[in-house]
Amino acid sequence: MGLFGTNGVRGKANEKITPSLAMDIARSLGKYMKGEGTIAIGKDTRISGDMLKSAAIAGALSAGLEVIDIGTAPTPSIQYYVRDYADAGIVITASHNPREDNGIKLIAGDGTEFSREGEAEVEKIYFAKDFTPANWDQTGNLRKDLSANNYYINGIINAVDSKRIQKKGFRVAVDTGCGAGSLTLPFLLRRLGCEVITINAQPDGTFPWRNPEPTPDVLGELIDIVKNYGADMGVAQDGDADRAVFIDENGNFIDEEILLAMLGKHILNIKKGPLVTPVSSSKRLLDIAKENGVEIVWTAVGSINVARKMMEIGAVYGGEGNGGLIFPEHQYCRDGAMACAKLLEIMASGVKLSEMAADVPKYSNFKTKVRCKNLLGTMEAVKKEILRKENNVDTTDGLKIWRDEGWLLIRPSGTEPIIRIFAEAENDEQAIRLMKEGEELVNQYNK
């Protein structure tokens, strides 16, 4: 198993994610960069963040890199800073994982996440312990720069029609979950002329009220505030604030696949161009692309694949159906605060969140998973069978079968011995039938 999963290295702090791990990853990155250049290191609000950040800084300095400590900041804020002021970055975060976890994520010089190939190189150095300590007079210098969050907020203000939003004086209820977004989102919204009501907006790595993942079941208080105070929007973020989820003015949680589609629809009203999303996303975005006569490109799962493809083809918008949305006018990474500002910009034209959500195609989605004894063997056998029987199969990531009534995706997990099965169709009955078909097929070859 490799060191990096789909989103960096994650696990329980001070058990799996130790100071020596952080130091050795930074030393490996330093060797990968040939001991030259400047890296920025930042963290989310987790308790173990200072411990791991200090270790990563020591490792990078030992390798001869110049280091800028940018303190506590959302992942997209760190990415925005790296793009403009550093040659690479390290983010100490476990994103939406539970309280006790932490993690390490590498950022490329252009502000995007590290490529899989780059990670593989760093991994190779890490496992071989093939570090090259700098000579005593070549170890790096450290400086602090606490301007990243402000720089990031300014970037968003400039990337949307702020004047139009400011005139509206929206009332917005915010739950940043005591994560890194507590340092940016309420301040951004105030500068956008909003009346801001916050809960869980004190940075606190014990996450005293809710875990960092903003699932609908932990957002009851936010929903009550939206209803009781007549807010135009409720917004909640995960621990590192690259994702945001939304509550409409009636207190309804907006499904993240619907969010992806409804923003796409409004963005295409303003500007036509290609869209990018992973094969696991809903067909809603495809329908919207067709309506507008633009291309949609399906990528492998993982925001880095979406971001890189967007850069390559000059896409106007892209994202994943888990609330990770990418807006090229700001930067090529998942950005929760930017998604929030963009929604407000659209709402400033007079449309309510509930109306936007109701105005996208409706589909039924179901998913399940099968635990496998031999993951790769099972996938290989299933693939043979599907390619023999089906004529419209996308093999970008796993096996996606397109049918008239919808689609079915059979995909191995990158971190566990399970195969995930996703289905989407016009109604529940058809979607369940597709899902069961996939499940039976996998079970048939699960030996």
The stretch among 152-160, 235-243, 252-260, 306-314 that binds Mg ion (CB under 5 A) is 235-243
The stretch among 184-192, 230-238, 422-430, 438-446 that binds Mg ion (CB under 5 A) is 230-238
Q: Which residue is nearest to Mg ion (CB)?
A: 95
Q: In what side-by-side order are the strands of the sheet with 9-12?
A: 9-12, 101-107, 88-92, 38-43, 66-72, 142-144
**Of the two residues 236 and 316, which places its CB atom closer to Mg ion in the complex?**
236
**Of the two residues 335 and 439, which places its CB atom closer to Mg ion in the complex?**
335
- 387: CB partners within 8 A, 6+ apart: 393
The stretch among 21-29, 104-112, 231-239, 293-301 that binds Mg ion (CB under 5 A) is 231-239
**Of the two residues 320 and 439, which places its CB atom closer to Mg ion in the complex?**
320
240 binds Mg ion (CB under 5 A): yes
In the complex, the smallest distance separating the C-beta of residue 75 from Mg ion, rounded to whole angstroms, is 6
Is there a catalytic annotation at residue 95? yes
In the complex, the smallest distance separating the C-beta of residue 422 from Mg ion, rounded to whole angstroms, is 21
| Residues 83-112 interacting with Mg ion (rule: CB under 5 A) | 95
In the complex, the smallest distance separating the C-beta of residue 176 from Mg ion, rounded to whole angstroms, is 12
In the complex, the smallest distance separating the C-beta of residue 240 from Mg ion, rounded to whole angstroms, is 4
Cα angle 209, 213, 219; round to 5: 55
Kindly list the distances between the CA atom of residue 188 and the CA atoms of 165, 178, 283, 302, in Å, as whole numbers in the listed order.
12, 16, 32, 27
> In the set 175, 238, 249, 397, which binds Mg ion (CB under 5 A)?
238
**Of the two residues 162 and 237, which places its CB atom closer to Mg ion in the complex?**
237
What is the β-pairing status of strands 233-237 and 195-199? unpaired
**Of the two residues 8 and 438, which places its CB atom closer to Mg ion in the complex?**
8
**Residue of 180, 176, 183, 181 lying closest to 199 (CA atoms):** 176
The stretch among 55-63, 238-246, 304-312, 416-424 that binds Mg ion (CB under 5 A) is 238-246
**Of the two residues 240 and 257, which places its CB atom closer to Mg ion in the complex?**
240
In the complex, the smallest distance separating the C-beta of residue 7 from Mg ion, rounded to whole angstroms, is 8
Query: How far is it, in rounded angstroms, from Cα 8 to Cα 107?
Result: 10
**Of the two residues 303 and 430, which places its CB atom closer to Mg ion in the complex?**
303
Which tokens sit at 433? 């039938």
320 binds Mg ion (CB under 5 A): no
Query: How far is it, in rounded angstroms, from Cα 84 to Cα 359?
Result: 38
Q: Pattern of binders to Mg ion over 241-280, x per CB under 5 A?
A: -x--------------------------------------
- 314: CB partners within 8 A, 6+ apart: 273, 274, 328
303 binds Mg ion (CB under 5 A): no
Which tokens sit at 369? 């998973």
C-alpha dihedral sign at 287, 288, 294, 297? negative
Q: Under rule CB under 5 A, how many of the chain's residues touch Mg ion?
A: 4
Query: How far is it, in rounded angstroms, from Cα 61 to Cα 139?
Result: 6
- State the catalytic residue, choosing from 28, 48, 77, 95: 95
**Residue of 97, 100, 92 lying closest to 25 (CA atoms):** 92
3-state helix, strand, coil in the chain (%, to 5): 40, 25, 35
The amino acid at residue 374 is N
Residues that bind Mg ion (CB under 5 A): 95, 238, 240, 242
Residues annotated catalytic, as ranges: 95
